[in-house]
Homo-oligomer: A and B are copies of this chain.
Amino acid sequence: MDQLEKIINALIADKEYSSLKTMLKTMNEADIAEIFSKLPPENMLRLFRLLPKDLAADTFAFMDADEQELLIHSFSDSELKEVFDELYIDDAADVIEEMPANVVKRILANTDADTRKQINEILKYPEDSAGSIMTVEYISLRPDMTINEAIKRIRRVISKAETIYTCYVTDNNRRLLGYLSVKDLLLAGENETVKDIMETTPICVHTSDDEEDVAKKMAKYNFVTMPVVDDEMRLVGIVTFDDAISVLQDETTEDFEKMAAIAPGDDSYFKTSDFLHAKRRIVWLLILMLSGIITGTIISGYESALSTVPVIASFIPMLMGTGGNCGSQSSTLIIRGMAVDEIRPRDFFKVIWTELRVSLLTSAALAVINGLRIVIMYHDIRLAAVVSLAIVGTVVMAQLIGCSLPIAAKKLKLDPAVMAAPLITTIVDAGSVLVYFTIAARFFHL
């Protein structure tokens, strides 16, 4: 790709537009969009005009919203119409969702009534719903069509469909009856009817379902497309696998960010302003800072103990760190387990029981290793006993808190990802200090 970029820049510098035109025609739209995103705006527009009509629209669909907006601003009305006529309806709706009101107005003014109606159909659904990512360009068949009639119908409407891999079978009221793949059609005998060969398992999603659930359902069933129905079980659209994959990727990014105490944002790293970067991070930092202050206050409360046996202070960072790490290990396993539907809220006690056993194993190993180290370095068995016991107490507490909070969040309909490392660590920090000082006070008679 780097090589290609260099060649293209050299050709632009030499004004070799006809070679550029030939070259772009051989390239894939995703690659063209990637290279365009690195060009200065005037060159991007110049090259865009060199693309054949269908490749131009495909490339446009792969570009970022701000580049799309830039292009739209420099398009003539007829250019705008040309691009939007070629776009699939779901891609057109995606573009429109990201544009400011005046641009949306201009786009809709330059599309024909039929397309406009279809776009508006998608735009009316709430953001992140199945309805908002579906396309209305699917192929529907009737159950009593013969295989030949079905193939004829597909040939007739094919240019208007985004994908023909799966065709859906509906009744006269557009209610979803079943589906079949083009493979099934080509395998079937000519005298069979659609009804004979269709799959009737009614797996579908509702327009208002969350897009993440839709994507996960498609991954579960290995579906390339998923039918979307309304309240009356009428087929209103399909979600295609490319949208499902990008939903899965966006949701993963959001989970990673939430789990690192970052408020989710819409833009990518380099497209986020400094101010927004700071804003997305500072809310949680402030909340977590508060709890750091609480831990500090607890430590201050034991000031006299610290001055009597000063050596105990030096184990605080190790205990707090270990507690935090154990807590985030447990919470990460549970959050991810819930994200891939392996762990459900009703598994609560099973999880608690597992983590309890594992925490005893882990903490025993850590306690023994630490105890030996302390005996060897400090020749103080009492100190070794205090620290080792504190490790067991801290690790068990950390793992139990780490596994329960995400499940509790899920039960309360909150996003479990919020209950990740940062929050768990802070809660566990205070707890580990309390456990440690309680044990130390008992053993050293403080």
Contacts and interface: CB of A to CB of B under 8 A. Distances in A.
A187 B158 contact: yes
Q: Which 8 A-B pairs have the closest CB atoms?
A: A292-B318, A260-B332, A296-B314, A292-B321, A295-B317, A278-B361, A222-B242, A300-B314
Interface in A392-408: none
Which of A161, A332, A354 has the most CB atoms of chain B within a 10 A radius of its CB? A332
B288 A325 contact: yes
A59 interface: no
B422 A220 contact: no
A221 interface: yes
Nearest to A343: B269
A357 interface: yes
A315 to B, nearest CB: 6
Given A27-B201, A354-B277, A317 B155 contact: no
Contact of A315 (B183, B296, B362, B366): B296
A39 B237 CA distance: 36
B296 A316 contact: yes
A284 B321 CA distance: 12
Which of A26, A245, A275 has the most CB atoms of chain B within a 10 A radius of its CB? A245
Interface residues of A, number: 109
Contact of A299 (B252, B314, B433): B314
10 contacts: A30-B222, A158-B186, A163-B183, A219-B245, A249-B340, A252-B252, A260-B329, A286-B366, A295-B317, A317-B429
Interface string A249-280: 10011011101111000001110001101100
Contacts of A253: 336, 340
Interface string A144-159: 0000000000110011
Contact of A221 (B30, B321, B335, B337): B30
A275 to B, nearest CB: 7
Interface in A317-375: 317-322, 324-326, 328-329, 331-337, 340, 342-343, 347, 350-351, 354, 357-358, 361-362, 365-366, 369-370
Given A262-B333, A295-B317, A322 B285 contact: yes
A386 to B, nearest CB: 14
A164 B340 CA distance: 29
A340 B34 CA distance: 13
A269 B337 contact: yes
B318 A293 contact: yes
Nearest to A293: B318
Contacts of A293: 317-318
